[in-house]
Amino acid sequence: MKFKKPLIQSFVLLFITIGLFGCAARKERSLFNAKSDIVTDTIKQVYVVNDQGISEAFYKIKINDRLAIRNVQNKEFGATASTISNSSTSSSNSGAINSVLSYPVDLDGQVNLPAIGKVGVVGLSRREAAIKIQELYAKQLLRDPIIELSVVNLKVTLLGEFSKQGNFLLERDNTTLIDIIGEAGGITKTADPKTLKIIRGDRANPEIIYVNLNDINSLASKKLVLQNNDIIVLQQTKSSATTEKLQSYNNLLQPLLVVVNLAVLIFTVTR
C-alpha cells in the first residue's frame, strides 16, 4: 500500500507539531527557568553550571541559627514544647512540621542556655558544639549528660514531581539528595528522572546542578550532599505535560461544542 507524498508530509508535520507542543507545555509548567538551562535529555550523570566548588560536609554554626539541645539521659531536659513562644520547627520523616524548644545564636556568636548561660558556638560543627555544651553541663549541673544538638533552621525545599513537596529539615550532616527524596516518599509516576535540578548558593548568581536519576553513577557525586536552602526541582515528562495541556484545552472546548451541537439541533428541528 503506497501513501501519497502530501499525506506523508502531513503526518510528519503533525508529529513535529506534537513534539514541539510537548516541549512548550513542559517548559510552561516547569519552575525557576534560567537562561543557562541546558537540554536535560543530554545529561548522562551530573552536570554543574556556575560551579562553586565542594561545600564543607560538616555544617558550621552561624549567627541567627536556632539550636535544639536535648540531654539523652534525661527525657525532661529539652523536651518538645509546642506551646512555647520561642520555639522553632523540625521535620519528621513524613515532612511534617513539629514545634521544638530551640535557642537562637546571638549576634555575638553565643547561645544563651538554661543554667550555664552563654556559650560561644559560631564556627563549630554540630558535633563540636554538642561536646562543648556537654562538658559545661557536666561541670556545672548534670551528671554524665549526653547532649544531642541539632540546628533546626537548616532546610531544603522540594518542588515539582515529588510525592510530597515543601520544606524538609537537614537534621544531620551529610544528608544526601536520595535521603530527602526518600523522606518525600519518592517521585511521582509523571516525573521525568532526567530533569532534576538543584539550585544552590547565591540567588542572584546560583550554582545549578542537573542530575540524571536514571543513572546510578550519579549518586557518587559529592554535589548531591545537600546544603542549607537548596531548592530541588523535578519536572514532569513531556508526554504528561502534553496530556495535561490537551486536557485543559478539552475542558475549554467541551462547553463550546455543547453550544454548537445545541445550535445545530435547533436549526435542524426548526428548518
Residue 77, pLDDT > 60, answer: yes
Domain boundaries, given as residue ranges, for the chain: 32-55+154-238, 66-151
β strands within the chain, DSSP E: 46-49, 66-71, 88-91, 97-100, 103-104, 110-113, 117-120, 147-151, 155-160, 166-169, 196-200, 207-211, 231-234
Give the residue from 176, 151, 173 showing the smallest Cα distance to 67.
Answer: 151
pLDDT tens track for 19-30: 555 555 455 556
Average pLDDT over residues 208-223: 93
Average pLDDT over residues 172-192: 94
Per-residue pLDDT, 185: 97
Residue 71, pLDDT > 60, answer: yes
Using H for helix, E for strand and C for coil, what is the string for 149-206?
Answer: EEECCCEEEEEECECCCEEEECCCCCCEHHHHHHHCCCECCCECHHHEEEEECCCCCC
If one compares 122 and 57, the residue with the highest pLDDT of the two is 122
Per-residue pLDDT, 139: 93
Q: Does CATH place domain 32-55+154-238 in 3.10.560.10?
A: yes
CATH superfamily of the domain spanning 66-151 = wza like domain (3.30.1950.10)
Per-residue pLDDT, 101: 84
Residue 228, pLDDT > 60, answer: yes
Per-residue pLDDT, 24: 54
Query: Cell numbers of 200, please?
Result: 544552590
Single-letter code of the amino acid located at 145: P
Q: Which of 72-81, 151-160, 175-184, 193-202 is predicted least confidently?
A: 72-81
Say which residue the cell 521535620 belongs to: 91
Residue 63, pLDDT > 80, answer: yes
Average pLDDT over residues 108-119: 95
Per-residue pLDDT, 260: 76
Spatial separation of the C-alpha atoms in residues 218 and 5, rounded to whole Å: 46
If one compares 258 and 138, the residue with the highest pLDDT of the two is 138
Query: Cell numbers of 81, please?
Result: 514544647
Query: Cell numbers of 133, please?
Result: 555544651
Spatial separation of the C-alpha atoms in residues 87 and 212, rounded to whole Å: 38
Confirm whether pTM is higher than 0.85.
no
Report the chain's mean pLDDT, rounded to a whole number: 80
Residue 6, pLDDT > 70, answer: no
Residue 186, pLDDT > 90, answer: yes
Q: Which of 1-5, 62-66, 230-234 is predicted least confidently?
A: 1-5
